[in-house]
Amino acid sequence: MSKPLYLGELLLHWCPSCNVPVLGKKCSCGSGAGQVTITPPGDIRPAFGYEIGLINSVSTRQFNAPLLPEDRVVVLNKSPYDDRMEEIIVDGEVVGNIRFELEPLKWTLLLRIAGARRIFDSADHSSLKGWVVIDHGAEKFILEGASVLAPGVFDADPDITETDEVVVLTRDGKVLATGRARMSGARMLERGKGVAVKVRTKEVPADITVPSGGQTWDDVVVANERYLEDFAERSRSFIRNVASSVDRPVTVSYSGGKDSLAVLHLVSECMDDYELLFADTGIEFPETVQNALEVAGLYGKPLRSISSGNAFWDSIVNFGPPSVEARWCCKVCKLGPITQIIDENYEDGCLTFIGQRKYESDTRAKSESVWKNPWVGNQVAAAPIQNWTAMHVWLYLFKNKLPYNPLYEKGFDRIGCWLCPSCSLADLIRLKDTHPEMERKLNNYLLSYAKGMGLSEEWVQYGLWRWKKLPPQLKEIASRKGIGLIPRSDVPAVLNFTVTSGYRPCKQGGVSAEGNFNTAIDLEKLEATSMLEAVGSASYMEGVVSLLHGEDRAQVFASGTVTARSDTDRKARSLMHNVELSVRRALLCSGCGVCVGKCPHGKIRVLRGAAVIGEGCTHCGKCIEVCPVVRFTP
């Protein structure tokens, strides 16, 4: 399990008088609000109906009773884990965690003492499931940190299976501990040797007091009015100050998510003259595209958008499935189109307000609030809600009755590309229920890819395609289940290049080399894109391209052979490498446009779906370094 990470102050408090969450030490009713101890980073948010229903269904499956009553305000806090895990907070208490277990591929409820008491203190435990009753003599040792040993078991649910979550009770039915079974209920009842329950939480038995319910999120908004206005006004001041100091047209990057919607409304409260940017990656949820259109109409602003269409599926043939470490799809489907939108609509670039927040990740916590986008040359980006938690965002949306994406109410806690490798496996599996045709398309591709690479169906089933290097827990699961992780060595790359005779002394002086692609080269395509100009000055003749870079020379033949010559081994290697990469770019270009924003002299344009280098190229090679074709080719 990954470690808790403090990205900002833990802001969750709870008003005992109003029984609602508060983002500070005092509720608007005047009562003091006690802090709730939650796991960092503390990006708290509301639980919607689907999530409450999921928690109760899992609770009923495990313990034969729901955990949460319907008349409660429930807060979730995403906790560090290898997939998706949420702390569950209700009535000012953390009552448990719900997490998606990676090996059984199912949701599991991990009760805290407060949650166990809510279920077991109000019912006859014999009507419930997952309980273990211990002898009086064992209570002291468990409270001191010991596990439950089989000889100390007085009674147990016989249907408990090993690894089940269980609640440990005293002889008089009081909750003492929670944990995970290390043997079946039947074995526990034999009272032999061994650990019966590995205890996770324990506490001296006590009576439970549950506050009155009936609160709504409207009540939460009222309780937090002062904090909301304070955060909103600081964000509005930030927007005004940045807009007055950066002399560029103002835009808002709208993604269809809650954060960008909050930023859009904040900007609308500060100015009238702004436009919306929307990167339709071609792999957006349909609800997201529809929401972007509706929001643009609601605010009466132009929606500057370019659809990447089928670029992802066209490019995946060359790159293979994207991974957490190599998200080539962001460059091809998002950053490239955004570059084109800005290049075509804002001659001198633009200032863009975005919905970045520090509570989302360590990288975002360390980033500046205003910066020059390294991938989009003509964009200055600014983050007005950098210090907001998700709860600030949601209460601001509720207060202003803003039209948020309906996917949030269907169990998705983040909105982005529907097959993003950074998604939890829980969300990808959820697609089977919400978007079955999309899930089927992804699964069919992955199964075909796995078969071609000599990998198993389990490699797809457990989401192992999402990493080049597996996290430790997934690596252990793969090992236990015998899932191979190394592709067959006899599977060729889509476009393979081999230096056939090495780097050697040249008769004409210096060092020469020969290389070869595993396919013939379309020299007309090389000439049409002028992609070799990134390396040097190119001359085209029948069947061959000659390339001059200072005193160094290279040739590309239609047969696929490449030769290079220089005065040193290092320079010959560099020349051969850059020629290889430039040929790949020309043949595999998806027209994403990432290179457009990286050219320091503005000599690259996307024409008829492919990048083209124009006259005046200085052969600096900066466009080679950023091209997803060469950065993410498997």
Q: What is the pLDDT of residues 160-177, one digit of tens each?
A: 999 999 999 999 999 999
CA torsion through residues 146, 150, 155, 160, sign: positive
Residue 79 has pLDDT above 50, yes or no: yes
φ, ψ at 557 (rounded to 5°): -100, 150
Question: Does pLDDT of 31 surpass 90?
Answer: yes
Distances (CA, A) of 235 to 7, 301, 391: 19, 21, 15
The residues near 203 (Cβ < 8 Å, ≥ 6 apart) are 113, 143, 175, 176, 177
Task: Specify the DSSP element, H or E, that contains 307.
Answer: strand 303-307
Residues 349 and 278 in one domain: yes
245 and 347 in a single domain? The answer is yes
Q: Could you tell me the residue range of the domain that residue 611 belongs to?
A: 507-631
Element housing 446 (H / E) = helix 436-452
Report yes or no on 3 lying in a domain.
no
Give the pLDDT band (50/70/90) at residue 87.
Answer: very high
**Torsion-angle region of 256 (φ positive above 0: left; ψ -120 to 50: alpha; else: beta):** left
Residues 6+ apart with CB under 8 A from 556: 521, 523, 526, 532, 544, 545, 547, 562, 579, 583
Both tokens of residue 495? 């476009």
| 245 and 152 part of one domain | no
**Lowest pLDDT segment from 58-67, 398-407, 565-574:** 565-574
pLDDT: which is higher, 110 or 308: 110
What is the C-alpha separation between 364 and 371, in angstroms, rounded?
Answer: 12
- The pLDDT tens digits of the residues spanning 240-278 come to 999 999 999 999 999 999 999 999 999 999 999 999 999
Quick one: pLDDT band at residue 492, thresholds 50, 70, 90?
A: very low
**Do the domain assignments include residue 156?**
yes
**Phi, psi angles (nearest 5°) of residue 293:** -65, -45
Strand (E) positions, 386-536?
497-505, 511-517
Torsion of CA 498, 502, 506, 509, to 10 degrees: 100
Helix/strand/coil for 528: helix
pLDDT at 421: 92
Q: Residue 491 has what pLDDT? A: 45
Q: Are residues 320 and 439 in the same domain?
A: no
User: 497 in a domain, yes or no?
Assistant: no
Specify the range with the lowest mean pLDDT, choosing from 231-245, 288-302, 327-341, 597-611. 327-341
Of 407, 425, 449, which one is at a domain's C-terminal end? 407
Confidence class for position 303, pLDDT limits 50, 70, 90 = very high
* Structure confidence at residue 367 (pLDDT): 66
Residue 297, domain CATH:
3.40.50.620
**472 versus 504: which is more confidently predicted?**
472
Same domain, 403 and 441: no
Model pLDDT for residues 129-167, shown as the tens digit of each residue:
999 999 999 999 999 999 999 999 999 999 999 999 999
The CA-based angle 59-65-69, given to 5 degrees, is 85
Residue 466 has pLDDT above 50, yes or no: yes
CATH at 599: 3.30.310.10
Count of C-beta atoms within a 10 Å radius of residue 253:
19
Q: Which of 319, 414, 342, 338 is nearest to 631 (CA)?
A: 319
Distance from C-alpha of 165 to C-alpha of 157, rounded to nearest angstrom: 12
Instruction: Check whether residue 371 and residue 334 sit in a common domain.
Output: yes
pLDDT, greater one: 618 or 7: 618
- Say if strands 131-134 and 153-156 run parallel, antiparallel, or are unpaired: antiparallel
What is the Cα 590 distance to its own chain's centre? 24
What is the band of 203 on the pLDDT scale with cuts at 50, 70, 90? very high
The top-scoring range by mean pLDDT among 123-127, 276-280, 628-632 is 276-280
Q: Which residues contact 2 (CB under 8 A, 6 or more apart)?
A: 80, 81, 82
The number of domains in the chain is 4
Q: What is the pLDDT of residues 555-593, one digit of tens each?
A: 988 878 888 888 887 888 889 899 999 998 998 888 888
- Identify whether residues 197 and 236 lie together within a single domain: no
Task: Using alpha carbons, list the distances in angstroms from residue 494 to 319, 453, 519, 581.
Answer: 9, 12, 10, 14
The confidence score (pLDDT) of residue 358 equals 84
Is residue 322 very low, low, confident or very high in pLDDT (cuts 50, 70, 90)?
Answer: confident
N- to C-terminal Cα distance for the chain? 29
Q: Which amino acid is at 520?
A: A
Answer yes or no: is 547 within a domain.
yes
pLDDT digits (tens, 9 = 90+) for 206-248: 988 889 899 999 999 999 999 999 999 999 999 999 999 999 9
CATH code: domain of residue 108: 2.30.130.10
Rounded to 5 degrees, φ, ψ at 532 are -70, -15
Q: Which residue has the higher pLDDT, 116 or 572?
A: 116
Do 242 and 181 fall within a single domain?
A: no
- Write down the residue that tokens 């670039």 correspond to: 349
**pLDDT classification of 487: cutoffs 50, 70, 90:** confident
Chain centroid offset of residue 490 CA: 33
Listed residue (451, 450, 452) closest to 464, CA to CA: 450
> 491 in a domain, yes or no?
no
Q: Is residue 213 part of a domain?
A: no
* Domain assignment present for 587: yes
Is 446 within the bounds of a domain? yes
Q: What average pLDDT does range 330-345 have in this prediction?
A: 85
- Name the percent of the chain lying above pLDDT 90: 66
Query: Mean pLDDT in the chain?
Result: 90
Whether 603 and 525 map to the same domain: the answer is yes
Predicted confidence at residue 239, as pLDDT, reads 97
Are both 476 and 511 inside the same structural domain?
A: no
The confidence score (pLDDT) of residue 323 equals 84
Task: Say whether both 117 and 266 belong to one domain.
Answer: no
Average pLDDT estimate for 325-344: 82
- Is the domain of 466 the same as that of 592? no
pLDDT > 80? residue 504: no
In whole angstroms, give the CA distance from residue 333 to residue 163.
43
Report residue 486's pLDDT band, with 50, 70 and 90 as the boundaries.
confident
Q: Is the pLDDT of residue 448 over 80?
A: yes
Own/partner long-range contacts of 371-376 (Cβ < 8 Å, ≥24 apart): 375/331, 375/335, 375/339, 375/594, 375/597, 375/598, 375/626, 376/335, 376/338, 376/339, 376/342, 376/597
Q: Tell whether the model's pLDDT for residue 534 goes beyond 50.
A: yes
Query: What is the rounded CA–CA span in Å between residue 568 and residue 440?
Result: 53
pLDDT confidence band for 4 (50 / 70 / 90): low
Mean pLDDT calculated for residue range 446-456: 90
Assess whether pLDDT exceeds 60 at residue 608.
yes
Q: Judge if the upstream peptide bond of residue 505 is cis by omega within 30 degrees of 0.
A: no
Q: From CA 513, how far away is CA 561, in angstroms rounded?
A: 11
Which stretch of 45-49, 281-285, 301-305, 355-359 has the lowest confidence by average pLDDT? 355-359
> Sorting pLDDT into bands at 50, 70 and 90, what band is 508?
low
Q: Which of 561, 567, 551, 544 is nearest to 501 (CA)?
A: 561
Most confident range (mean pLDDT) of 43-57, 409-423, 500-514, 581-595 is 43-57
Report how far residue 158's alpha carbon sits from residue 129's, in angstroms, rounded to the nearest whole number: 9
